[in-house]
Amino acid sequence: MCRLATGCTANDKTSTASGHNYCFRSQLHNNTNTAFILVQLNPIAGAVISEPVGCEVRARLESGWVCGLRRFAENNTVYASFRGVPYAKQPLGELRFKELEPAEPWDYLDASEEGPICPQHDVFYGKMMTSHKMEEACIYANIHVPIEALPESSLRRPLRHLKPPYEAGLSEEDEPKQPGLPILVFVHGGGFSFGSGNSDVYGPEYLVSKGVIVITFNYRLNVFGFLSLNTPSIPGNNAIRDVITLLRWVRTNARSFGGDPEQVTLGGQSAGATIAHLTSFAPDTEGLFNRLILMSGTAMPAFYTLSPVFAQNIASMFLTHLNITTTDPELAHSELIKLPIDKIMNANRMLIDYFGLTTFVPVLEQKIPGVNPVVLEDPITLMNKGVGRNMEMFIGFTTAECESFRPRFEQIDMITRINENPLLVLSPSILFNAPPSDLLNIAKEVEQKYFNGEPTMDNYIHSCSDTFYNYPALKIAQMKQAMGGAPVFLYQFSYEGKANVIKTAFGINYKGVGHVEDMTYVFKVNSIMGKYITFPSGSKDDLMRKRMTTFVSNFVKCGYPNCIGNEVAAWRPVDRYLRYQEIENTYYKSTDPTDAQIEMLEFFNNLYNTTAS
């Protein structure tokens, strides 16, 4: 009988060649026209390892061998792509809300296709997301490696000459002679509620051609990633724990795919940037990464709140919708782990339609026996204590962030909501931290600054952009500079491209640069690029792609957006004047904050000071 482990299914053909049990999977990959035969061996000590037919690239990870594909990036750069690799045991059944456990070992794993995305209700990406296979077993990573970085054993030497895969780690003769390439681990965005690390949105093709290993991955979302009952069973912040698990997995396996475990940059966009930043404050993460890239998101509670009161309120709404009426959180947990996924996701859908863009979010934790806390204090408090002063940071925001959300705001009739409840103009953090008696007065201050007495969608877009993205980016950069230590680099992305991924995907038009736009010049949005638009060679769009990927890859390599020649001086770290780089028209320039940005900083500083008092 053939053991069915990860990589084999009951539909695979079986054989008993050479006295051992095998599973064979024949699969045709359209992108390479390669007939791939997967060989799955029982883990019998001393068994001969047979080489799969058509295995183009391989790597021996701690859990076993993975077999990937050669793919092509920009300028016909060849890279090895290992997709759908489990970085932990799937959190099913009793494990649904627990911290991830180590992946179960396998013998040989087909890593040619991406895994399913985590359960979610997408209200933003739309046709940008073409990965719609959705399963609760979704804990997968995608590793993309410049082909020359792979250890010798991954490319040329026959498998029969290597140690069995269940003997973890590289042998001394297989140890790479070079230190390995720097690694970018990127956390996908999606309001803590939706999205994935798959290549439809986060294609590695631009960056991997710059000599960087790119790792994207899925983590638990919405209720599975952030529901908190403040108990050992459901403490909250599981998504952040997933990221930490992934980073530990990267450190363990980095050399197996040609990476340098001492040169890991953690990046993220939007909620992914918030998660990355929060991860940098978590205990027991020292040594897992040494640089941060934050694109349109920080740990500063602005578009979300860390309030345990909010966590309790949304948990109560969720349980009520599921008709779970017990006041004992452990009994609630026992019911939740038995519920079908469809019922849980229906309740999540109800909540995201109620709140608009997000549901469950990170929460301040209390110390709970048996639980490793990851968010114990407010990030601003931690920064004031000097936490993170030695972490190099690269922070960005765009000129009109919330324009990308206009279709969703119109769908939920945001202006009517504001007219009915003026407090909705406030940051959720202020809503749950300011004295209730002060909230209406604070809301009136925001209305006076942004709405001229009558809310309109254009005015709300402006308010939303400043409140949720622009102010936090400037404030965090300012605080980081004041801390001393490692430098922080700040940019405003104002390039309005002709071939625009976001406008094309959503069928909209607007002035300025919306949320996610800067990222589309760093990661290839394969669902849109080539199918709907292109960046013609030599065009301004193509030049911007080259420029942005150079900035990011350089930061991953050396901690500066520019590492070559005199350009190092052209992009200096943020100084006490808060100078940043304006990226526009395929060039960038050092600039002082505008009068409007200085006024905005002062305005929100006063609001938050009022809240604190």
The catalytic residue positions are 270, 401, 515
Question: CA dist 447 to 271, 337, 355, 415, 601, Å?
Answer: 26, 44, 21, 13, 16
Residue type, 178: Q
3-state secondary structure of 276: helix
Contacts of residue 330, Cβ cutoff 8 Å, sequence gap at least 6: 231, 233
DSSP state for residue 118 in the 8-state scheme: P
Give the residue carrying structure tokens 């909540």.
351
> What is the rounded CA–CA span in Å between residue 358 and residue 122?
10
Q: Which residues pair with 395 in a beta bridge?
A: 294, 490
Report how far apart, in Å, the C-alpha atoms of 594 and of each of 474, 492, 590, 598 are.
12, 12, 12, 6
Rounded CA-CA distance 185/395 in Å is 16
Helix (H) or strand (E) holding 265: strand 259-269
CA-to-CA dists, residue 184 to 126, 144, 187, 260, angstroms: 26, 10, 10, 11
In a 13 Å sphere around the CA of 443, the CA atoms on its Cβ side amount to 18
Return d(Cα 603, Cα 205) in angstroms, integer: 41
The neighbouring-strand residues paired with 183 are 213, 264
Instruction: Count CA atoms closer than 13 A to 594's CA, side-chain side.
Output: 8
**Can you tell me the distance from the alpha carbon of 398 to that of 230, in angstroms, rounded to the nearest whole number?**
36
Look-up of token digits 């209720």: 223
Specify the 3-state DSSP secondary structure of 108: strand
Closest C-alpha among 519, 503, 521, 520 to residue 511: 503
Q: Where do we find the tokens 């806390």?
A: 373
| Terminal C-alpha separation, the chain | 69
Distance of CA 536 to the CA centre of its chain: 28
User: Where is 471: in which H helix or E strand?
Assistant: helix 471-483
